[in-house]
Structure 1
Amino acid sequence: MEFAGKRSGWTKLLPYALVAPIIIWILATIFWPLGNVIKESFYNTGFVGTKGSFVGVDNYKTVLSSQGYWTAWGKSLYWVIGNSLLQSVLAFLTALLLNRSSRIAQFFRTWMIIPWIIPTIVVAIFWQWIFNGSYGIFNHALISMGLLDKPINLIGDSVWSMPILIFINTWHWFPFMTIIVLAGLTIIDKEMYEAADVDGASKWTQFWTITFPSLGKIMFALGLVGTLWSFNVFDLIEILTGGGPAGATTTVPLFVYQTAFENFHIGQASAASIVTAFLLLVFVTVFIKFGSPKDE
């Protein structure tokens, strides 16, 4: 009877023991750093490792009144909207083309994921070579066709740098989105399309009345997670432009990084991070409330 009682007690503790490691990991890697960021946002800390003095909400006032911070938000919105539109269009077009049973479609289904699995540093170097103003193949091709008189450095141009970065990031990520959309297309009942054909509905009508509504939940998840992922992209922009030229590609993550590790204002960077996290939380709340698909 005593052994049964001990066994019963261990059985009750077993679920907690199993989830304890992941809880400890989350606390150590998310909540502990987050707590430190919140703490530092109330201090005027300069360098990493130094101790600043308490300044209250002064850092938040500085961030909220900073033109550079809100300009970075404008660049981030440009970046996110550009990536979302271009990736969505390419993903849908590619998924619709590959939603076939032919051998060619099956071949490209397998190999189209390659751009997504390439490390970001390799993608950056690869496209930097292509668009290089001195020896890039892009300039060479345009000059050979007579479309350009002299090479241009698109990545270093204040007007073209952001569109080029959006193109490169889209090339890197749209295969992942394509696979998700393609998976959604395969579960749509084919009889719905057959009925639409009998009714004389065009392919365009079928897309908007059958395909797109059937992918509502998938597009909602991609829209939410993809927007947050895209917003927080740092490595590609930092490698290719470093936020330049003249701040043309300085998004919010780069602004926070530059404030902390180039201008040595850890406190202000922490405050900017908290404000950004709050605004993203507002976006997530609104998106879920008004964008979540309604159950029929």
Structure 2
Amino acid sequence: MEFAGKRSGWSKLLPYALVAPIIAWILTTIFWPLGTVTRESFYNTGFVGTQGSFIGFDNYKTVLSSGDYWASWGKSFYWVLGNGFLQTSLAFLTALLLNRPGRLISFFRTWMIIPWIIPTIVVAIFWQWIFNGSYGILNHALVSIGIIDKPINLIGDTAWSMPILIFINTWHWFPFMTIIVLAGLTIIDREMYEAADVDGAGKWKQFWTITFPSLGKIMFALGLVGTLWSFNVFDLIEILTSGGPAGATTTVPLYIYQIAFENFHIGQASAASIVTAACLLIFVGLFIKFGSPKDE
């Protein structure tokens, strides 16, 4: 009986023991840094590792009244919407083309993932080599065939820099979305399409009445995670433009980085981070409330 009692007590503790490591990991890697950033947002800390003075909500007042901060939000909206539209369109088109039997189709299904697995730094160097105004092969080709008279620095142009970055990022990431959409297409019952064919429904109508609604849950997850993921992209933009030219590609993550590590205002950057996180949490709440698929 005593042994049974000890065993019962251990059985009660076992679930807590199993989840304890992940809880400790979350507390260490998420809540501790978040607490540190929150604390620094109330101080006028300049350099990393230095101790600032307590200034209350002054950093938040500076951020909320900063035109540059809200301008960076405009760039982020442009960036997120551009990536979302282009990646989703290409992913759906590619997935629909690959959702059929055939040896050649199987080959493309296997190898289309290559752009996604290439490291970002390699992607940046590759496309810089193509679009560069001085030595880019695109300019060389266009000049050679007489389309343009002189090279154009697309990445360094205030009007073209953001569209070019969106194109590069889409090329890098749309294969991942394609695989997710393709996986969703394979579980749709083919009898639904056969019944639609019998009823005389065309491919376009089948897409909007069968395919797209059947992928509702997948698109919801991709929409939520993909938006947050795209919003927080930093490396590609920093490598190619560093937020330029003239701030044309300074999204919110770039703005916070520049305030923290170029202007040396850690406290102000911390406040901007907290405000940004709060805005994203509001977005997540609204997206879940109004965008979650309804169970039929």
Give, as a single letter, the amino acid of the residue that structure 2 aligns with 1:174: F
1:144-185 Cα offsets, whole Å, 9 max, x none, are: 221111111111111111000000000000000000000011
Runs in 1 of length 4+ with deviation above 3 angstroms?
none
Q: Indicate the RMSD between aligned Cα atoms, in angstroms.
A: 0.8
Aligned residues: 296
- Partner residue of 2:54? 54
1:59 deviation in Å?
0.5
More divergent stretch after superposition (18-27 vs 227-236)? 18-27
Give, as a single letter, the amino acid of the residue that structure 1 aligns with 2:34: L
- Partner residue of 1:294? 294
Give the TM-score normalised by the residue count of structure 1: 0.98
1:132 deviation in Å?
1.2
1:2 deviation in Å?
2.5
Q: Secondary structure at the match of 1:147?
A: coil
Give, as a single letter, the amino acid of the residue that structure 1 aligns with 2:27: L
- Partner residue of 1:21? 21
1:5-55 Cα offsets, whole Å, 9 max, x none, are: 222222221211111111111111000000000111111111101111111
Gaps of 5+ in 1: none
- Partner residue of 1:249? 249
Give, as a single letter, the amino acid of the residue that structure 2 aligns with 1:269: A
- Partner residue of 1:76? 76
Whether 1:201 aligns to 2:201 is: yes
How far apart in 1 are the matches of 2:64 and 2:273? 12
Give, as a single letter, the amino acid of the residue that structure 2 aligns with 1:77: F
How far apart in 2 are the matches of 1:143 and 1:285? 50
How far apart in 2 are the matches of 1:80 and 1:145? 35
How far apart in 2 are the matches of 1:107 and 1:145? 34
Q: Secondary structure at the match of 1:164?
A: helix
1:101 deviation in Å?
0.6
1:171-210 Cα offsets, whole Å, 9 max, x none, are: 0000000000000111111111111111111111111111
Q: Secondary structure at the match of 2:43?
A: coil
1:238 deviation in Å?
0.4
List aligned pairs for 1:136-215, cutoff 5 A: 136-215=136-215
How far apart in 1 are the matches of 2:288 and 2:16? 31
- Partner residue of 2:134? 134
- Partner residue of 1:271? 271
Give, as a single letter, the amino acid of the residue that structure 1 aligns with 2:62: T
Q: Percent identity?
A: 85
How far apart in 2 are the matches of 1:176 and 1:14? 38
Give the TM-score normalised by the residue count of structure 2: 0.98
Gaps of 5+ in 2: none
- Partner residue of 1:114? 114
1:110-143 Cα offsets, whole Å, 9 max, x none, are: 0000100111111111111111112211111211
How far apart in 1 are the matches of 2:214 and 2:2? 57
How far apart in 1 are the matches of 2:230 and 2:114? 19
